[in-house]
A and B are shown apart, each in its own frame.
Chain A
Amino acid sequence: MTAFKELLKKEIRLELRQKHALAGVGMYVLATVFVCYLSLETLESQRLWGGLIWITGLFTAFNAMQKTFQQEGGGTQLYLYTLASARSVILSKALYNALLVSVLNTASLMFFILFFGEKPFADADLSQFVLGLLLGSTGLGFTLTFISGLAYKSGSGVGLVAILGFPVIIPLLITIVRFTTGALLGLTWLENGLNLLVLVILNASSLLLSLLLFPYLWRD
Chain B
Amino acid sequence: MKLWLKILCAVLLFYALLSSFYHPLAPGGLTVDIEKLVPGANTFVYSGYNTHFKDHSNDGLQFFVSSGSHYYPTEIIEVIDNNHAKVNVVLPDTLPSEEIAFYANTPTDGTVYIMKPMDISAFVFHQNYTNGSVPVKVANDQHQNFGYPFQVIIFESIRNLMWHVPMWFTMFVIMFISFIQSIHVLSATGRENMLDSSMIYVQSGIHDRKASASAETGLIFCILGLITGSIWARFTWGAWWTNDPQLNGAMVVFLMYVAYFILRNSVNDEEKRARLAAIFNIFAFVLLVVLLMVMPRFAEGLHPGKSGNPAFSSYDLDSSLRMVFYPAVFGFILLGYWIYNLRLRIKILESNEEI
Does A180 sit within 8 A of B, measured CB to CB? no
Task: State whether B298 touches A168 (Cβ < 8 A).
Answer: no
Does A24 sit within 8 A of B, measured CB to CB? no
B300 to chain A: closest CB distance in Å?
11
From 134 to 193 in chain A, residues with beta carbon under 8 angstroms from any chain B beta carbon are 146, 150, 153-156, 160, 163-164, 166-168, 170-171, 174-175, 178
Which stretch, B54-62, B73-81, B286-294, touches the partner chain A?
B286-294
Task: State whether A160 touches B279 (Cβ < 8 A).
Answer: no
Task: State whether A198 touches B295 (Cβ < 8 A).
Answer: yes
Given A156-B267, A171-B249, A195 and B255 touching (CB < 8 A)?
no
B226 to chain A: closest CB distance in Å?
14
Instruction: Provide the residues of chain A in CB contact with B299, threshold 8 Å.
Output: 178, 194
CA distance in complex: A198, B245 (Å): 13
CA distance in complex: A49, B134 (Å): 59
CA distance in complex: A216, B272 (Å): 10
Task: State whether A202 touches B290 (Cβ < 8 A).
Answer: yes
Task: State whether A167 touches B298 (Cβ < 8 A).
Answer: no
Q: Which residue of A lies closest to B189 (CB)?
A: A216
Given A154-B276, A167-B256, A168-B284, A195 and B298 touching (CB < 8 A)?
yes
Instruction: Provide the residues of chain A in CB contact with B294, threshold 8 Å.
Output: 198, 201
From 10 to 47 in chain A, residues with beta carbon under 8 angstroms from any chain B beta carbon are none
CA distance in complex: A23, B196 (Å): 50
Chain A 190-220 interface mask (CB, 8 Å, partner B; 1/0): 0000110110011001000100010011011
Q: Which residue of B lies closest to A165 (CB)?
A: B259
Q: Which residue of B lies closest to A174 (CB)?
A: B248
From 281 to 319 in chain B, residues with beta carbon under 8 angstroms from any chain A beta carbon are 282-284, 286-287, 290-291, 294-295, 298-299
Given A164-B280, A209-B286, A216 and B298 touching (CB < 8 A)?
no
Chain B 187-228 interface mask (CB, 8 Å, partner A; 1/0): 001100000000000000000000000000000000000000
Task: State whether B262 touches A160 (Cβ < 8 A).
Answer: yes
B263, B279, B287: the one contacting A213 at CB < 8 Å is B279
CA distance in complex: A120, B263 (Å): 42
B279, B280, B287: the one contacting A171 at CB < 8 Å is B287
CA distance in complex: A201, B262 (Å): 27
A161 to chain B: closest CB distance in Å?
11
Task: State whether A154 touches B286 (Cβ < 8 A).
Answer: no
Q: Which residue of A lies closest to B278 (CB)?
A: A216
Instruction: Provide the residues of chain A in CB contact with B256, threshold 8 Å.
Output: 167-168
A184 to chain B: closest CB distance in Å?
18
Would you call the interface of chain B mostly helix, strand, loop, or mixed? helix
Task: State whether B286 touches A205 (Cβ < 8 A).
Answer: yes
Instruction: Provide the residues of chain A in CB contact with B291, threshold 8 Å.
Output: 171
A136 to chain B: closest CB distance in Å?
16
Instruction: Provide the residues of chain A in CB contact with B190, threshold 8 Å.
Output: 216
Instruction: Provide the residues of chain B in CB contact with A178, threshold 8 Å.
Output: 299
Task: State whether B286 touches A167 (Cβ < 8 A).
Answer: no
Would you call the interface of chain A mostly helix, strand, loop, or mixed? helix
Task: State whether B290 touches A216 (Cβ < 8 A).
Answer: no
Task: State whether A153 touches B282 (Cβ < 8 A).
Answer: no
B132 to chain A: closest CB distance in Å?
47
Does B266 sit within 8 A of A, measured CB to CB? yes
A194, A197, A202, A216: the one contacting B275 at CB < 8 Å is A216
Does B252 sit within 8 A of A, measured CB to CB? yes
CA distance in complex: A160, B186 (Å): 22
Given A156-B267, A171-B252, A209 and B298 touching (CB < 8 A)?
no
Task: State whether A154 touches B279 (Cβ < 8 A).
Answer: no
Q: Which residue of A lies closest to B284 (CB)?
A: A168
Task: State whether A209 touches B282 (Cβ < 8 A).
Answer: yes
Given A197-B298, A216-B190, A171 and B259 touching (CB < 8 A)?
no
CA distance in complex: A150, B294 (Å): 26
B322 to chain A: closest CB distance in Å?
31
A150, A160, A168, A220: the one contacting B287 at CB < 8 Å is A168
Task: State whether B262 touches A205 (Cβ < 8 A).
Answer: no
CA distance in complex: A217, B245 (Å): 32
Instruction: Provide the residues of chain B in CB contact with A195, threshold 8 Å.
Output: 298
11 sampled A-B residue pairs with Cβ under 8 A: A150-B276, A160-B262, A163-B259, A167-B284, A168-B259, A174-B248, A178-B299, A197-B298, A209-B282, A209-B286, A216-B278
In the complex, besides A168-B259, A198-B298, A216-B278, 17 extra interface pairs with C-beta distance below 8 angstroms are A154-B272, A163-B259, A163-B262, A164-B280, A168-B284, A171-B287, A171-B290, A174-B248, A194-B299, A197-B298, A198-B290, A198-B295, A201-B290, A213-B282, A213-B283, A216-B275, A217-B276
Question: B residues touching A (Cβ–Cβ < 8 Å)?
Answer: 186, 189-190, 245, 248-249, 252, 255-256, 258-259, 262-263, 266-267, 272, 275-276, 278-280, 282-284, 286-287, 290-291, 294-295, 298-299
Q: Which A-B residue pairs are the 3 nearest by beta carbons?
A: A167-B255, A194-B298, A156-B266
Question: A residues touching B (Cβ–Cβ < 8 Å)?
Answer: 146, 150, 153-156, 160, 163-164, 166-168, 170-171, 174-175, 178, 194-195, 197-198, 201-202, 205, 209, 213, 216-217, 219-220
